[in-house]
Structure 1
Amino acid sequence: MIKNQWYAIASSKEIKKNQLFSLKRLNMNLVLFRDNHNNINALIDKCSHRGAALSKGKVQNNCIQCPFHGLEFNGDGNCEKIPALGNFSKDNLKRFNIQNFLVKEQNEIIYIWYGNNKVSSEIPFFEELKDDNFSMKEITDIWNTHYSRAIENQLDVIHLPFIHHNTIGRGNKTLVNGPKTIIIENKTIITSANNEVDNGQKPLSPKESKIKNTFLKFNFPNIWLNHVSDNILIFIFFAPIDDENTKLYIRFYNKITNFKFINSFISIIGKYMNNIVQKQDKRVVITQNPKKSELKIKENLLQGDLPIIEYRKIRDCLQKGGFYG
């Protein structure tokens, strides 16, 4: 994982008031809950007393109450109560404190800060999606692969006529021009498919190629946007579960008409189309070996893999605490 980043890890609708939500993210077992002010809190899902999963407990007194012996932990991870010691005993509670994590809720997404105490104020998202005229529907799926592989798949323009030969890759456009790839501020990759039917012509170089009206954007560490048109956007955040599993949250946005209820219905259709396309990808991506991508993993890459090459270079620099470009 890249340290010192805000990772999108869950959808807001998954976290209900007065309920505990258990999830594994970034190789950690976590428990999330909403406090009395509807703010999200995230703690390590392990009681400091006897190691029980706190997610099997309940929300009590604005805390998580352990299901095993009733210890209570507030949103900061501080132990507020140990029933066995009596209601008025506050001695030695500090040694029972557990790890908590900084979380933010924006854009109907739960973000977690993964890193040190120097926290960035910038939450990753795309300005295009902040238009209130959009209607949105979401599907999710878990892929048995590292999140880097899932991300690279969404930057891959070569695979379209093969994986998606009967959906978004129709037309047998196997010759890959470019692709032109733009890097912005060491955090954003912009590219687009500029493929053609192979009639014996030489592919254009990345410099000769162009960013088309339908283009892709990726923001580190784990959010992606397919700008289909100004009125149709497909957004994915790739929530890392562990080194071999990723949960994809796939959202279809549209504002095709001036009527919200019609756009909502269109988004439902779009959601199911997204599901068909992602399952075509998933069938093959989960077979890639190794499951985790790295800058150098003995793959023979092509000119058409330029967005993936740039992604690997930037990710490698960020993992090392550097700046690419």
Structure 2
Amino acid sequence: MSASLNTTFETPCDGTLEQWYVACAQKELRKNTPYRAKILGLNLVLFRQGDGQVAALLDQCVHRGTRLSAGKISDNCLVCPYHGWRYDAQGHVVHIPSVGDKQCSSPSGEYRYKQRHFAVQELDGLIWVYTGAGDPQAKPVFRLPAYADQRWQSYFMINTFEADVGSLVQNFMDVPHTVFVHEGIFRSSTGRSMDATLACKARSIEVTYHDDGDKIGVMNWLSNPDGEPLVHTDRFFAPNVTRCDYQWGERSAFLIISQITPIDSRQSRVYTYIAYRFRLPRWVLRMLRPFIHLYTRIVIRQDVKIIQAHRQGLDNAPDFKPSNVQADAIHVGVEQLLAAVRLGEDLPPAQRRESRIRFEL
């Protein structure tokens, strides 16, 4: 896997900030308990109000700089643990215990103190925060296919990786590594050739694999008992979402969608959404659910481990330049698209292309 471009998180480009990122899963934000998140080097605090709406503020009291996520929730407000200053969902200070209600009031009758708040959306089991200063409505949240669809089984896996977004996108879009990192469980080396079509577009990358006989590890007996040809497509939606589709006929499919939240320049939190439907009765699938969960968790833990080794290798030579072969055309496309995103732009027309690539497995 090749190295990704460096990102400076102290002063990130607008294109990096002007995005929706997953701050946490719904189940992680408990009632009456502040939740601490970190996105692009920003420490945030999320809390749920009495009506169920979620608010997100910069995790710092404007009084003495204390971490607000160490506080509590009272009367729909976030209370600083140090001196009890209270914040509403918009970041306004609504009560200062040490001075009362009059001494620090503005002519409008409101305190003049305010902390930055962030736009929030809660959809498909996840809570997103918009980190930019622009119009959040101008950027759509990536909706999860088949979520809450009774014909599908689905669940989330949440992991922290020692990598930036670019390195992770390249890993999730990379087929050649599967025969080494996931040997015997996802794919095994056979020496055969695989062809694929790479399409680099304005805001996305799509790879369609042309190998009807490809098999997905030990789950082939479950996913494809009829021996249907596999339709495999990987996509990257800039700046931080990958989607891998495996489909066998009309009744069997397996989706892996990764929402990558950059914590800082060295770490990312990945919310992996797994959705599947196989031609078996629902009660049988319910019985198999623990096995499927275990299988996918083993695979992703293998990726966590290899990504750590990759990070350690890059640290050993900070000026490292990757050596690319034909199979790495996907990596090059990812780097080019992310470079454009950091500038707040689409992929330049000169770099948009469709090409055929071939590599051995």
Pairs aligned (count): 307
Q: Is the 8 A contact 1:178 1:303 kept in 2?
A: no
Aligned match of 2:332: 309
Q: Is the 8 A contact 1:254 1:267 kept in 2?
A: no
Deviation at 1:8, TM superposition (A): 2.4
Residues 1:179 and 2:196 aligned together? yes
Counterpart CA distance in 1 for 2:337 and 2:194 is 23
The amino acid that maps onto 1:216 is: D
Counterpart CA distance in 2 for 1:176 and 1:89 is 76
Deviation at 1:222, TM superposition (A): 1.7
Aligned match of 1:200: none
SS in 1 for 2:288: helix
Counterpart CA distance in 1 for 2:156 and 2:235 is 19
The amino acid that maps onto 1:190 is: E
Q: Where does 1:178-197 land on structure 2 (aligned, <5 Å)?
A: 178-184=195-201, 186-194=202-210
Scaled by the length of structure 2, what TM-score is found?
0.77
Q: 1:264 to 1:48 in 2, by over 3 A?
A: farther
Counterpart CA distance in 2 for 1:157 and 1:263 is 27
Q: Which moved more, 1:187-196 or 1:312-321?
A: 187-196
Counterpart CA distance in 2 for 1:131 and 1:306 is 35
Q: 1:141 to 1:13 in 2, by over 3 A?
A: same
> C-alpha offsets along residues 56-94 of structure 1, whole Å, 9 cap, x if unaligned?
111111110011111001111111111111145551564
Deviation at 1:257, TM superposition (A): 5.0
> C-alpha offsets along residues 3-56 of structure 1, whole Å, 9 cap, x if unaligned?
322222321111122211112222111110111221111111111111111111
Counterpart CA distance in 2 for 1:196 and 1:227 is 14
Q: Where does 1:26-37 land on structure 2 (aligned, <5 Å)?
A: 26-37=40-51
Deviation at 1:130, TM superposition (A): 6.4
Q: 1:31 to 1:141 in 2, by over 3 A?
A: same
Counterpart CA distance in 2 for 1:258 and 1:34 is 39
Match of 1:140 among 152, 158, 165: 158
Q: 1:309 to 1:59 in 2, by over 3 A?
A: same
The amino acid that maps onto 1:41 is: A
Scaled by the length of structure 1, what TM-score is found?
0.84
Q: 1:50 to 1:260 in 2, by over 3 A?
A: farther
Aligned match of 2:18: 4
Q: 1:262 to 1:238 in 2, by over 3 A?
A: farther
SS in 2 for 1:141: strand
Q: Is the 8 A contact 1:7 1:221 kept in 2?
A: no
Q: Which moved more, 1:65-74 or 1:84-93?
A: 84-93
> C-alpha offsets along residues 248-297 of structure 1, whole Å, 9 cap, x if unaligned?
22232123257555444434322211111112222222222437xxxx96
Residues 1:123 and 2:141 aligned together? yes
Q: Is the 8 A contact 2:235 2:242 kept in 1?
A: yes
The amino acid that maps onto 1:131 is: D
Aligned match of 2:31: 17
Q: Which structure carries more relative contact order (alpha carbon 8 Å, separation 6+)? A: 2
Aligned match of 2:343: 320
Aligned match of 1:153: 171
The amino acid that maps onto 2:340 is: C
Aligned match of 2:262: 240
Residues 1:110 and 2:141 aligned together? no
Q: Mind listing any 5+ residue stretches in structure 2 that lack a counterpart?
A: 1-11, 214-228, 350-361
Aligned match of 2:116: 99
Aligned match of 2:314: 290
Q: Which moved more, 1:278-287 or 1:55-64?
A: 278-287
Q: Is the 8 A contact 1:32 1:43 kept in 2?
A: yes
Q: Mind listing any 5+ residue stretches in structure 1 that lack a counterpart?
A: 198-210
> C-alpha offsets along residues 153-191 of structure 1, whole Å, 9 cap, x if unaligned?
011122121112111112x1455544312245x233221
Q: Is the 8 A contact 1:8 1:112 kept in 2?
A: yes
Aligned match of 2:235: 217
Q: What's the Cα RMSD here?
A: 2.8
Deviation at 1:100, TM superposition (A): 1.0
Q: Is the 8 A contact 2:203 2:346 kept in 1?
A: no
Q: 1:129 to 1:216 in 2, by over 3 A?
A: farther
Aligned match of 2:244: 226
Aligned-pair identity in percent equals 22
Q: 1:12 to 1:132 in 2, by over 3 A?
A: same
Counterpart CA distance in 1 for 2:175 and 2:208 is 7
SS in 1 for 2:231: coil
Q: 1:69 to 1:315 in 2, by over 3 A?
A: same
Counterpart CA distance in 2 for 1:111 and 1:8 is 4
Counterpart CA distance in 2 for 1:155 and 1:126 is 18
